[in-house]
């Protein structure tokens, strides 16, 4: 986990799992910067975390905003990139523009953010890239979701080699039942589907936000973790 006083920079940290990671890092005593689309939203999210948190604007489809947020500032001890891009579509109904957007948000922007932040990273820094279980467990409509999540792992491994001794890892959450995203889906009628997923796990338990935060902190802290993809799915792939 981050040490008190270390700087944790969470892209996508103004909502969802990113905000949960940022809040836990701040509770430990880390200095936290959260980034997301919209200056006011980022500032409001940072204010909700309390003293020691700062919000900055990044639009993953806008290179100028990435450069403005990442090129200058305090050194970064732990860089965490959490954004997701839903963009479900089947290959039969393939939309090139939407596919390019998915690639831009999840692969190109991740690489661009790391590139822009290089002068702020230390040799001891860690980078954690969020993917998703669709890379291993595709479903109808996951054509690009599966592709870009698989690409995230390739990016993490190549960066681990290129940026050594900086450590770079991926984390691939499964269905995180208590996350805002899934709580919203459950409220909209997805409870039965979530229960079916839970029943498929050996432990009869899905991942929680705390599990994901613990995983991110493990990747920050464990010096032997490098170029790996940490899958946190309750073991659903085993059955």
Domain ranges of the chain: 7-238
pLDDT at residue number 38: 93
What is the C-alpha to C-alpha distance for residues 117 and 113, in angstroms, rounded to an integer? 6
pLDDT at residue number 143: 85
Interval 69-111: pLDDT, tens: 999 999 999 999 998 877 788 889 999 998 899 899 989 999 9
Interval 139-182: pLDDT, tens: 788 888 888 888 999 999 999 999 999 999 999 998 888 888 87
Token pair, residue 203, equals: 């432990």
Token pair, residue 16, equals: 């969802």
Token pair, residue 48, equals: 């909700």
Interval 5-22: pLDDT, tens: 999 999 999 999 999 999
- Region 200-207 average pLDDT: 89
Under DSSP, the state recorded for 224 is T
Task: Please report which confidence band the pLDDT of residue 117 belongs to, taking 50, 70 and 90 as the band edges.
Answer: very high
Closest to 207 (Cα-Cα) out of 169, 162, 237, 184: 237
Interval 16-64: pLDDT, tens: 999 999 999 999 999 999 999 999 999 999 999 998 899 999 999 999 9
SS (H, E, C) 154-178: HHHHHHHHHCCCCEEEEEEECCECC
Q: Are 112 and 63 in contact (CB under 8 A)?
A: yes
pLDDT at residue number 125: 98
| Angle, vertex CA 60, rays to CA 163 and CA 135, nearest 5 | 70
CATH 3.40.50.720 holds for 7-238: yes
Closest to 55 (Cα-Cα) out of 74, 42, 41: 42
pLDDT at residue number 196: 86
What is the C-alpha to C-alpha distance for residues 195 and 190, in angstroms, rounded to an integer? 9
Closest to 173 (Cα-Cα) out of 216, 234, 232, 86: 232
Token pair, residue 42, equals: 């980022």
pLDDT at residue number 60: 95
- Beta-bridged to residue 9, according to DSSP, are 33, 79
pLDDT at residue number 182: 79
- Residue labelled with tokens 């498929």: 200
- Region 190-194 average pLDDT: 83
Q: Are 209 and 17 in contact (CB under 8 A)?
A: yes
* pTM for this predicted structure: 0.92
What is the C-alpha to C-alpha distance for residues 75 and 7, in angstroms, rounded to an integer? 7
Helix axis angle, 109-117 to 143-162, nearest 10°: 20
- Region 120-134 average pLDDT: 93
């Amino acid at each position: 986990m981050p040490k008190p006083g270390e700087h944790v920079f969470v892209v996508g940290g103004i909502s969802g799992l990113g905000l949960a990671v940022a809040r836990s890092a701040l509770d430990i005593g880390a200095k936290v910067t959260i980034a997301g689309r919209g200056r006011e939203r980022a500032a409001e999210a940072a204010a909700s975390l309390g003293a020691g948190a700062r919000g900055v604007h990044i639009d993953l489809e806008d290179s100028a905003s990435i450069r403005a947020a990442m090129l200058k500032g305090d050194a970064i001890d732990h860089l965490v990139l959490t954004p997701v891009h839903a963009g479900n579509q089947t290959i039969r109904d393939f939309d090139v523009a939407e596919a390019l957007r998915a690639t831009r948000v999840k692969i190109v922007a991740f690489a661009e953010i790391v590139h822009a932040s290089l002068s702020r990273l230390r040799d001891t820094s860690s980078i954690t890239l969020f993917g998703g279980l669709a890379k291993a467990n595709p479903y109808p409509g996951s054509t690009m979701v599966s592709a870009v999540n698989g690409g995230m792992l390739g990016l993490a491994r190549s960066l681990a080699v290129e940026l050594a001794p900086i450590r770079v890892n991926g984390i691939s959450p499964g269905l995180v039942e208590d996350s805002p995203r899934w709580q919203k889906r459950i409220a909209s009628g997805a409870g039965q589907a979530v229960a079916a997923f839970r029943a498929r796990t050996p432990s009869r338990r899905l991942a929680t936000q705390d599990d994901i935060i613990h995983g991110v902190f493990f990747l920050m802290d464990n010096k032997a973790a490098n170029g790996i993809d940490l899958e946190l799915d309750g073991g659903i792939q085993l059955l």
